Amino acid sequence: MFGYLVRRVLSALLVIVCVVFVVSAISKLVPGDIVDMMEAGNPGMTEQDKAILREQLGVNKPVFETFTSYLGGIFRGDLGNSTRLRSSAAVLIAERVPATLELALTALFLALIVALPLGILCALKQGTAIDYFGTIVSTFGVAVPNFLIGIILILVFSVELQWLPSTGYKGSVVVAAWEALKAWDGSVLWDRMRYILMPAVSLAFFAIALNTRLIRSTMLEVIRQDYLQFARAKGVPERTVYLKHALRNALIPTVTIVGLQLGTLLGGTFIIENVFAWPGIGRLAVQSIFWRDYPLIQASILVAACVFVLINLAVDLIYRLIDPRIRYVRH
């Protein structure tokens, strides 16, 4: 077990370093640097001024050199400073983590509360209209990219119906829920919920689709098992057979998938946050790419990659706890 853990952590570190390097190298391929961005709309800065500024900001170094010096900084516990926002990248990211987590967790929550009943229903009513509906929804969810769903939602609910705000952020829903509870006034909560609904739904759509299919198929598999027939023969009511005996076993693969999904959802926030102007890490990372703010690109990608890898690692380890049949064997 310990050896496995060490190997996993080492390979995770390698993955993180590679991801950060590749992303920063690719972002350097786009023409223009941060000084060109600063000059845009500010005539008066001559080529000479720009050269001096590049020197002062240290942006004219080659990719590899920037990267190695950055890596050195990380080992000293320094994530660097944003060249554009002129503050500590660590602080900037920390400020935006709650918004991203809130969005991803809300999406995960949505994915579960929709997929669980839908998947179970589809399995129990296999071959009926409900099953076909579930299949259509899942196919749609897997096939359509989340940003497109986001744009369609904006067109329908903001532009046409004008029910929900198309973009923006008013603060944490969790905090609002607490305030609403204290003041016993739902309007505060609704005011914030309005903003998170569409981003969370578009982010959750893929997970809903996947989970529905997964729960449906595992349920179908479990339903046919002998022990369920035995339970029925014993006279256990159908409800209890499905919800207690069948669902529990059907949930094992789902739980592990859901863990992995949190990683995917965090990745999805990079796109969704930009569609909905949600002030999280994803938006910060994309803005920093737009600004050519290399230290901030590196820091935000580094943090995102770490979170993703850590979640995957945690899922692998938890796997064993959920299902004792799984063993870590040295090949």
Partner 1 sequence: MNEFDRLTDPATMPGLSFEEQTYEVSRRLAAFDRRRFLGGSAALIAASAGISFPALAQRKGGNLRIGRSSDPDTLDPQKTTSFTSHETFTQIFDGMVMRDEKGNVLPHLALSWEFQDDNKRVVFKLRPGVVFHDGTPCNAAAVAFTVKRHLDPATASPTKFICGPLQRAEVIDETTVAYVYSAPFVTLWVGLGGAYQAILSPTAVEKLGANFGRNPVGSGPFKFEKWQPDSGIKLVRNDKHMFINKRFKNDKPAHLDSIEYVVIPEDAPRLAALQSNEIQVIAGFNAVPLDKLAQVKRMRNVKVLTRTALSCYGIAFNTKLAPTSNLKVRQALSMAIDKNKVLQLALGGNGELAYSVLGPAFPQVLPNAKDIAPKYDPARAKALLAEAGAANLKLRLSSNDDSANRRACEVIQAELKAVGVEVAIEAVPGAEAAVIQRKGEHPLYMVNYRYTDGDVLHILLHKSGSLNRGAYTDPRTDDLLDKQRLEFDPKKRDAMLNEVQKIAIEQCWWLPLYADTTAVAIRDNVEDFENAWDARIYYKDVWLKA
> Which residues of the shown chain bind partner 1 in the complex (CB under 8 A)?
30-33, 35-47, 49-50, 52-53, 56-57, 81, 84-88, 92, 95-96, 158-159, 162, 165-171, 277, 279, 283, 290, 292
Measured from the CB atom, the residue of 24 and 261 that comes closer to partner 1 is 24
CB nearer to partner 1: pick between 29 and 321: 29
- Min dist CB 209 to partner 1, Å, is 28
Cβ nearer to partner 1, comparing 104 with 137: 104
* Min dist. Cβ of residue 231 to partner 1 (A): 54
Residue type at 45 in one-letter notation: M
Cα–Cα separations (whole angstroms), residue 78 to 3, 30, 93, 286: 29, 26, 13, 21
CB of 211 to partner 1, least distance (A): 31
Q: In the complex, what is the shortest distance from the CB of residue 320 to partner 1, in angstroms, rounded to a whole number? A: 40
Nearest residue to 251 via CA among 112, 109, 121, 105:
112
Residue 329 and residue 285: Cα distance in Å, rounded?
39
CB of 53 to partner 1, least distance (A): 6
Q: Please say which residue, 45 or 257, places its beta carbon nearer to partner 1.
A: 45
Q: Please state, as a whole number, how many other Cβ atoms lie within 10 Å of the Cβ of residue 324.
A: 7
The owner of tokens 């009511």 is 237
- For Cα atoms 146, 152, 155, give the angle at the middle one, nearest 5 degrees: 145
Distinct helix (H) and strand (E) counts, the chain: 14, 0
Separation between Cα atoms, residue 220 and residue 216, nearest integer Å = 6
3-state SS, residue 88: strand
Q: Smallest distance, Å, CB 85 to partner 1?
A: 5
Residue with Cβ nearer partner 1 (1 or 159): 159
**Cβ closest to partner 1, residue 18 vs residue 277:** 277
The DSSP-derived string for 202-226 is HHHHHHHHHHHHHHHHHHHHHHTSH
Residue 63's identity, in one-letter code, is V
Q: 78: alpha, beta or left, given left = phi > 0 and alpha = psi -120 to 50?
A: beta
Please, what is the minimum distance in Å from the beta carbon of residue 269 to partner 1?
Answer: 14
**216-226: string of b/e by CB count within 10 Å (b at 16+)?**
bebbbebbeee
**For partner 1, the closer CB: 163 or 178:** 163
Largest CA distance in the chain: 88
By beta-carbon proximity to partner 1, the closer residue of 33 and 102 is: 33
To partner 1, the closest distance from the beta carbon of 97 in angstroms equals: 12
